[in-house]
Amino acid sequence: MLDALWQDLRYAVRALRSSPGFAAVSILSLALGIGANTAIFSLIDAVMLKSLPVNHPEELLQVTMGTPEFLSNPIWEQIRDGQDVFQAIFGYGRWAFNLAAGGEARPVNGYFVSGQFFETLGVHAVLGRTLTPADDRRGCAGGAVLSYGFWQREYGGRGNIIGQTISINSHPMEIVGVAEPRFTGVDVGSWVDVLAPLCAEKALHGELNLLDTNNIPGWLQVIGRPKPGVSASQAEARLKTLAPEIYRATVRRTWQPEDQDRYLQRTLAIQPASNGLSYLRRQYRQGLTILMAMVAVVLLIACANVANLLLARGAARQREMAIRMALGSPPSRLIRQLLTESLLLAAAGAGLGALFARWGARLLVVYLGATLDLAPDARVLAFTAGAAVLTGLLFGIVPAWRGTRVAPQAAMKANSRGVAEGPKFGIGKALVTVQVALSLVLVAGAGLLLSTFWNLASLDAGFERDHVLLTSADLSNGSDAPERPRVVFRQVLEKLRAIPGVRSASASNIVPMCGCKGSNELVIEGYTAKSRDDVTVLYNRVSDRYFETLGTPIVAGRDFNDSDTPGSPKLAIINQTMARRYFGTANPLGRRFRIREGNEVSEPFEITGIVADAKYGALREEISPTAYTARSQAENTGPVAYFQLRASGGVPTALIAGVKTAFAELDRGASLEFTTLAGKIDRSLTRERLMAMLSGFFGALALLLATIGLYGVMSYNVARRRNEIGIRMALGAEQARVLRMVLGEVALLIGIGLLVGLGAAVATTRFVASFLYGLPPNDPLTLSLAAAVLGGSGFRGWLFAGAAGVSTGPYVCPSGGMIGTISG
C-alpha cells in the first residue's frame, strides 16, 4: 500500500513538473485562498480561543454583575470576605501609571491587584517575589512587581533591582519582584508593565479614593479559581444567594430611592475566564466572524478556479487515460492518481499560504496596535492541514471522476474531438456560474463596507479636525490639596497660548472621540421631565475659547471669559439639540437648569450661549443634548485635563516641545500624552478601516480569480471548437459573427451568475447591517455597481479569449486536411 502511494506521489510530481504553468497558477490561487483563511483564523485563535498562559486556565471563572462586568471595590471586598466557593480569588483594575524617569513623567500600563492575584493565576517570580495578601492591606505603602518585558526594556534585565524604588504618580514604591516571562497580563490584546497592590490606590490617586466609592459601573474585574469539585453553575448559585446581602451592605444612601431599589435588585453571575478578558474580543468578535466567512468564499472561488483548470487539463489527458485503461489500470486506480495530484497541489498551496498567513496576520496585529500571541498552536496547524485536505478533495474529486470517464477506443483515435462537443464541458460552465455568483456576494459586501468607511471618514462631526494638537495631562501624585491641579492648569493654559505658532488653546474634561461620555441628570426650569433618561444629557467642563479652538461655532449668546470665576453666577452653554428638545422654538438664553447628583441638586446654571452640535463618543452616534459649564468656575477640576491647541499652520505636532516646556516650568511630575484631533478620529475608525481594507482586498482577489477562471474556460472552450470555428469561417462566416456566436453563451453564463449572485447578496448582506453607516444593507446603487464591475471584468476576460480564438489560422478539418487560412 505504501509503495503504491509513494508511486502515486512520484508520478504526481512528474505530472505537475511537466505542466509548470498550470501548477504555478493553481498553487498561487490556492495559496491566496488558504493563506487568507489561515491569517484570519490565526487572529480568531489569538483573540478568542487561546487560553491565558497561566496554570490550568480552564478552571478560571469571572464574577460579574451581569452588565456591567466591572465592580466597585466595596462590592469586591464583600465578595472576597463572604464567598466560600473559590479556593483563590482576586480583583484587579487596569490603570495608566505615571512613571517618573529621566526627569519626565510618562504613562505605563499598570494593574492594581489584590493579594491573591498571582496565587490564583499560578504565576511565579523570575526574580524576587510576587505580591501576597500581606501586601494588600489598607494604608499600605505598596510594593511593585514588574513584568518581564518591562524589566528587560527599562532595566536591561539587571538582577540588582530588587529593593530599589520606582516612582509611580510621584509616589516611591519598592520593587519586590519580576514576573515570569510567559505572563503578560490578563487582558488579551494588551500588556501590563507594573503591578501594584490594590491598597496603594489611595496613595497613588489621593482624592479619587476609589477604594471607598461604590460607583456603577466600577473599575475592578474579579476572577477566581473554584474549590475542587465546585462547578461553575454551583459557584454562580452560591453567589446569587450572597448577592442580596452584598448589595444591602454597599448601597449608597445618597442615591435617589429608585436608584437604590434598582441597585438592590441586582445579582451576581459567573462566566468562563480561561481565555482572559479583552476589549479586542468585544470589539472585533463579529467583524472577525464576517471576515472568516468572506475568506471562506474566496477559497471556494479558488477551488472552482483550480477545478476548471483540472477539467481542462483532464480533457487534454483523455488519450493518456485511455491508454492506461487499455493497459489494464482500473478507473479507481486512475482516480486515486488524479486525487494525489490534487492533494499535492493543495499541500503546496497550503505551505505557501501559511507563509502568506504568517506575514499577513502579523501585519494586521501591527495595524491594530495590539499585543497578541500569534505563535501557531495545534488549532492553527490543524486548521491549515484540514483546509489543504478539504480543498484538495473539493476541487479534485469531480475532475478525477470526469477524467476517467473515457472510451479507450474513441479517445485513442488521432483526432476524436468532433466538431463541437460543447456539452462535455457543462460542469466547467456551472463552476464559472458559481464563481460569478460568489464573487458578486464578496464584491457587494466590500462595496458596502468601503462606502461605510467613506461615509464616516468624510462626516461633518461638528468640529474642524485639522491642525489641532490634543494633550492629556495627569497631575495625579497623591497630593491632598484638591485646588492645586486647578491652579496649575490655569497657569499652564496661559503659557500654552503664548507658544509661537498657537492660534488658540483651551482645556476641557473630555475631548471628541475619547470614547467616554460624561452625563448628568438635569432639573430644567419650566420643563416637566417624562423620565430620568429624558433629562440626562452629556456634560463637559470647558475653558474659554474651547469652541474657537475646535472650530465649533457659537450660534447665539457668548463664550465663557475671564470674568467667569468661582464667585460669579454659574453659567452654561448648550448645544442646538438640547435647545430644541427642552425649549422648542423659545429662546433658551437666560433660562436656567440645575445638575442633580443623587438626592442633591447644584446651584442654578444660567444659559449664556448656544453652540452648534458636535459628536463626542463616536462618529456613529446620534447627536445628544449636551451642556458645557466653565472650568474657571469650578472649585475642583480634578487631577486630569485635556488641552487643545490649534496651530496657525503646519504640523500641529511641532507644538509638542513648547507644551512640554510649559508644564516643566510648573510641574515636572505631570504625565503628558500627545495626539492630534485628526489622528484621534482616524483611530476611532480603526475597525471600519480594517473591515473596508480587508473586504476590499478579498473582493478584488475574488474578482481576479473569477476573471482568470472565465478566461481559462473560454480559452479551453474556443480551443475545443476550433475546427467548428475554422469551418464556419472558411465557408464565409464573418469573424464578428462567429465571435458573437461564441460569446452568446458567455453572456448567458455571466447573466445567470449575476442573477444568482444578486439573490445571494440580498440574502447575506443583512449580516453586515450592524457595521454599515449611511446606507442600507441592500443598497441598490452598491449592488448595481458590484454587478456592473463583475460583469464587465468577466466579459472582458471572455472577449479576449474569444477574439484570440477566432483570429488565428490556418484551420484544420477533422480529417486533418487544411481548409483555408483566415487572416485576422
Return the SS3 of 179. strand
Asked whether the beta carbons of 196 and 99 are under 8 A apart, the reply is no
Q: How far apart are alpha carbons 373 and 126 in whole angstroms?
A: 21
> What pLDDT does residue 478 have?
46
Task: Dihedral sign for Cα 368, 371, 375, 381, please.
Answer: negative
Name every residue whose Cβ is closer than 8 Å to that of residue 690 and which is 6 or more positions away in sequence: 287, 364, 367, 368
Cis bond before residue 68 (omega within 30° of 0): yes
Mean pLDDT across the chain: 86
Nearest to 251 by CA among 43, 74, 112, 413: 74
Surface-to-core class of residue 430, CB atoms within 10 Å of its CB (0-12 exposed, 13-18 middle, 19+ buried): middle
**Whether pLDDT at 735 is above 70:** no
Asked whether the beta carbons of 214 and 77 are under 8 A apart, the reply is no
Return the SS3 of 355. helix
How remote is the C-alpha of 798 from its chain's centroid?
Answer: 38
pLDDT band, residue 333 (cuts 50/70/90): confident
H or E stretch covering 643 = strand 640-647
> What pLDDT does residue 803 have?
56
The model's pLDDT over 742-789, given as tens digits with 9 standing for 90+, comes to: 667 777 888 899 999 999 999 998 899 989 999 999 999 999 999 998
Q: How far apart are alpha carbons 187 and 225 in whole angstroms?
A: 17
Q: How far apart are alpha carbons 511 and 528 in whole angstroms?
A: 31
**Whether pLDDT at 419 is above 60:** no
How remote is the C-alpha of 351 from its chain's centroid?
Answer: 27
Nearest to 140 by CA among 174, 93, 179, 92: 174
The model's pLDDT over 353-376, given as tens digits with 9 standing for 90+, comes to: 999 999 999 998 888 888 888 888
Q: How far apart are alpha carbons 45 and 39 in whole angstroms?
A: 10
Rg value, the chain, Cα:
35
> What pLDDT does residue 807 have?
57
H or E stretch covering 155 = helix 148-155
> What pLDDT does residue 636 have?
76
Residues in the chain: 824
Query: How close are the terminal C-alpha atoms of the chain, in Å?
Result: 55
Cis bond before residue 217 (omega within 30° of 0): yes
**In which residue are the cell numbers 474657537 written?**
548
The model's pLDDT over 587-643, given as tens digits with 9 standing for 90+, comes to: 999 999 999 877 788 999 999 999 999 988 889 988 999 999 999 998 777 788 899
Name every residue whose Cβ is closer than 8 Å to that of residue 198 and which is 6 or more positions away in sequence: 73, 91, 92, 93, 112, 113, 114, 115, 136, 211, 220
**Whether pLDDT at 808 is above 60:** no
588-617 CB burial, b ≥16 within 10 A, e <16: bbebbbbbbeeeeeeeebebbbbbbbbbbb
- Residue 270 φ/ψ, nearest 5 degrees: -125, 140
**Whether pLDDT at 824 is above 70:** no
From residue 85, alpha-carbon distances to 127, 162, 208, 273, 618 in Å are 32, 35, 32, 16, 41
Average pLDDT over residues 135-140: 90
Surface-to-core class of residue 745, CB atoms within 10 Å of its CB (0-12 exposed, 13-18 middle, 19+ buried): middle
The model's pLDDT over 238-278, given as tens digits with 9 standing for 90+, comes to: 999 999 999 999 999 888 888 899 999 999 999 999 999 98
Q: How far apart are alpha carbons 644 and 613 in whole angstroms?
A: 18
Average pLDDT over residues 5-33: 84
Surface-to-core class of residue 778, CB atoms within 10 Å of its CB (0-12 exposed, 13-18 middle, 19+ buried): middle
Asked whether the beta carbons of 445 and 765 are under 8 A apart, the reply is yes
189 beta partners: 371
> What pLDDT does residue 71 have?
95
**Whether pLDDT at 60 is above 90:** yes
> What pLDDT does residue 756 have?
94
> What pLDDT does residue 173 have?
93
> What pLDDT does residue 104 have?
66
Name every residue whose Cβ is closer than 8 Å to that of residue 355 and which is 6 or more positions away in sequence: 35
H or E stretch covering 783 = helix 780-806
Residue type, 580: R
The model's pLDDT over 662-693, given as tens digits with 9 standing for 90+, comes to: 988 887 778 888 999 999 999 889 999 999 99
Average pLDDT over residues 79-88: 96
**Whether pLDDT at 812 is above 50:** no
pLDDT band, residue 348 (cuts 50/70/90): very high
Nearest to 291 by CA among 709, 767, 795: 767
Nearest to 665 by CA among 433, 492, 431, 409: 492
Q: How far apart are alpha carbons 45 and 38 in whole angstroms?
A: 10
The model's pLDDT over 458-514, given as tens digits with 9 standing for 90+, comes to: 999 999 999 999 999 887 664 555 567 778 888 999 999 999 999 999 999 988 887
**Whether pLDDT at 176 is above 80:** yes
Asked whether the beta carbons of 208 and 161 are under 8 A apart, the reply is no
Name every residue whose Cβ is closer than 8 Å to that of residue 562 and which is 6 or more positions away in sequence: 544, 632
Q: What percentage of the chain has pLDDT greater than the value 90?
A: 55
Average pLDDT over residues 383-402: 87
**Whether pLDDT at 236 is above 60:** yes
pLDDT band, residue 2 (cuts 50/70/90): low
Q: How far apart are alpha carbons 498 and 665 in whole angstroms?
A: 14
